[in-house]
Structure 1
Amino acid sequence: VGGLAEGPVRDKILAMLMGESPYREEWADRLLTDTIRKIYRKWYKERHRVLRRQIVKAEEDGNDELCARLIREKERLSQEEKRLA
Structure 2
Amino acid sequence: MASKDIENALGMNYAYLSTLFRKQTGKSITAYKNELLIEQAIDIFKKSNKNITEVSNKLGFSNPYYFSRVFKRVTECPRLYT
The TM-score range, normalised by the shorter chain, is 0.3 to 0.5
Q: TM-score, normalised by structure 2?
A: 0.35
Q: TM-score, normalised by structure 1?
A: 0.34
Q: Is the helix fraction higher in 1 or 2? A: 1
